[in-house]
Structure 1
Amino acid sequence: MHKPDLSESPYQRFLGLELVHHEEGLVEIRMPFREEFLRDDGSDWLHGGILSALIDIAGDYAVYSKTGGDVPTVDLRVDYLRPAKRGCLTAIARTVKVGRRVSIADVDVKDEQGQVVAVGRGVYATPAP
């Protein structure tokens, strides 16, 4: 099993990502709130791009925890279920499949109250053995 290092990317450091839990094929990542994440000035809603970034990163690390190699994103689907309001978000990502060419992870994003605000599925290129 390979432990994700969330500090290796300047973007991930900007997001303030924290690894809460990891095991093979499963990661839980917390993203603290930043004012820059808001959709508009005066809004309490987070921009959807922040949620999709969190889904992509969490899915990537779930697959990485099984493969140990770089897993570039091939496709990403995000379903927004309810508005995400100011506050911390937590992504729970599970590896669904590790294939010869592509691997798949499903991700739930929860708000501070534990409500699922978005779900996603990432498809990642599987590294050569």
Structure 2
Amino acid sequence: MSEVDEFLPEIRQAVIDFMNRVPFNKLVGFTLTEITPDKVCLTLPMRPDLVGNFITGILHGGVISSMIDVAGGAMSLVGAFRNLEHLPLEERVLRLSKIGTIDLRIDYLRPGRGERFDVTATLLRAGNKVAVTRAEFFNDQGELCAVGTGTYLCG
């Protein structure tokens, strides 16, 4: 078993615990579908209360940006958690409890039409204090609807 394989259950559980304790994530309905050293994936089923344009029935842009932000934040946790693996688990969790978004840029490419939406975030850089992520947001037809870059305080 590689070092990454041994480390993944610990980091996976920490990210899941963090995500599940955020009331907003529960309210909107984000579900983590994958956590690896290279990516974090979330899914969200469409619901009538998430509509942003009642005439066309498309997903609200704020939900799109929130999903990209949450996926990027989770990915930055993965990177930061790995950077701090020399510390005891409790200290890592304490340090990472202060994670927050510094900057978020969203490019909306097409309307959020679909029955389900998925986002995949990857890590561009994980430093001692700041992580930068890139995320892609797809509808259930596999169409790229938005992309985002997030910068997160994580140290």
2:140 partner SS = coil
1:13 matched to 2:41:
no
Aligned partners of 1:82 and 1:13: how far apart in 2? 26
Q: 2:109 and 2:54 mapped to 1: Cα distance?
A: 22
Q: CA deviation at 1:7?
A: 1.8
Q: Normalising by the residue count of structure 1, what TM-score does the alignment of the two structures yield?
A: 0.91
In structure 2, stretches of 5+ residues that fail to align are 1-7, 82-95
1:86 Cα shift? Answer: 4.0
Question: In the alignment, is the contact (CA less than 8 A) between 2:119 and 2:138 conserved in 1?
Answer: yes
The verdict on how the C-alpha distance between 1:86 and 1:113 changes in structure 2, with shifts beyond 3 A counting, is closer
In 2, are the aligned partners of 1:59 and 1:107 still within 8 Å (CA)? Answer: yes
Aligned-residue sequence identity (percent) comes to 27
Alpha-carbon distance in structure 1 between the residues aligned to 2:120 and 2:101:
17
Which of 39, 59, 66 is the matching residue for 1:46? 59
Q: 2:108 aligns with which of 74, 80, 101?
A: 80
**Structure having the higher Rg:** 2
1:101 maps to what in 2?
129
Q: C-alpha separation between the residues in 1 aligned to 2:53 and 2:122?
A: 32
Q: Which residue of 2 is the match for residue 62 of structure 1?
A: 75
Aligned to 1:23: 36
- From the two aligned structures, give the one with the greater helix fraction: 2
Conserved 8 A contact 1:25-1:63: no
Q: 2:85 aligns to what?
A: none
Q: Secondary structure at the match of 1:84?
A: coil
Counterpart residue number, 2:93: none
TM superposition outliers: structure 1 runs of 4+ over 2 Å: 40-43
AA partner of residue 23 (structure 1):
T
Shift of 1:99: 1.5
Q: Which moved more, 1:113-122 or 1:96-105?
A: 96-105
TM-score by length of 2: 0.77
RMSD: 1.3
Count of matched residue pairs = 127
In the aligned structure 2, how far is the partner of 1:125 from the partner of 1:7?
A: 20
Contact 2:52 2:59 (8 Å CA) reproduced: yes
| Aligned match of 1:90 | 118
